[in-house]
Amino acid sequence: MIVSQLLNTSFPTLNFSDKPSFALQLMDDYDVLHLAVLEEEKFVGLVAKDDLIDAIESDMHLSDPNILKRYWIHQDDHFLSALRLIAEHELSLLPVVSAQMELVGVILTKEFLKSISTFLGNDEKGAVIVLETDKRNFSFGELSRLVETNDAYITQLNTYTEASSGLVVITLKINKIEVSAIVATFQRYDYVVRHFYGEEEYANELKENYQHLLSYLNM
């Protein structure tokens, strides 16, 4: 997924000549903490609500370099680059520019989170299993094979290296809800299963037996 697929092209912007008070009102109207600033249709920077409040008190203008932040991304960049900038600078929106530094739109953080959720397959049913292993033992091929031996497949895989232990932490999304057999398979192959989120077969059996018991008592 690239940045151009995430654009909001109709969001309001500010001009160099606008007053900080107008910018603050616009932010309140659209429920954001940042807005892009243009000069002759070219992107020149991003302003934040906290800085604008200080600007009003000190009679500063939007053109002041102490207010303008140079946070932006190109429309052809990968969405992970946008995610890094938004997280690092706590942005409510991120301006998106062309090669000529023309503003082509913005990424709204609230909408972005929804897109990431869809990208990660959160709309699809399935279990999540979190494993840990040594770096030298990490193999996507083996993980996939072990899941497939249980008539399932991996729909999403994410990893990170834990700073405190050096272990690779692996998060798997699987196309099945019942995960008892898959969890047992990983444990047999010496993977540490940190967490899993789904339904195990015995849980379903307990529920079914409970329903039978209720039916018997109601007779």
Name the phi and psi angles at 84, rounded to 5: -65, -45
Q: How far apart are CA 56 and CA 60, in angstroms?
A: 6
What integer is the mean pLDDT of 208-216? 53
Q: pTM for this structure?
A: 0.70
Q: What are phi and psi of 165, to 5 degrees?
A: -115, -20
27 is written with which tokens?
Answer: 């932010």
pLDDT for residue 97: 94
Distances (CA, A) of 110 to 83, 85, 114, 165: 12, 15, 7, 33
Question: Average pLDDT, whole number, for the chain?
Answer: 86
**Going by C-beta distance under 8 Å and a sequence separation of 6 or more, which residues neighbour residue 208?**
none
Flag whether pLDDT at 210 surpasses 80: no
pLDDT for res 201? 46
Tens digit of each residue's pLDDT (9 = 90 or more) over 6-39: 999 999 999 988 888 899 999 999 999 999 999 9
Q: For CA atoms 100, 39, 59, 47, give the dihedral sign.
A: negative
The tens digit of pLDDT for each residue in 106-145 reads 999 999 988 888 777 777 788 899 999 998 888 999 999 9
Banded model confidence at residue 78, pLDDT cuts 50, 70, 90:
very high
Mean pLDDT score, 26-53: 92
Alpha-carbon dihedral of residues 39, 45, 49, 54, nearest 10 degrees?
Answer: -80
Rounded Cα distance, 211 and 166, in Å = 46
pLDDT band at 219 (very low <50, low <70, confident <90, very high): very low
Cβ contact 27:122 at 8 Å = no
> Above pLDDT 70, what percent of the chain?
88
Confidence band for 91, pLDDT divided at 50, 70 and 90: very high
List, in sequence order, every beta strand (DSSP E) within the chain. Answer: 14-15, 34-39, 42-48, 73-74, 93-97, 103-108, 127-133, 154-161, 168-174, 192-197
Q: How many other β-carbons are positioned within 10 Å of the β-carbon of residue 170? A: 20
Q: What is the model's pLDDT at position 196? A: 87
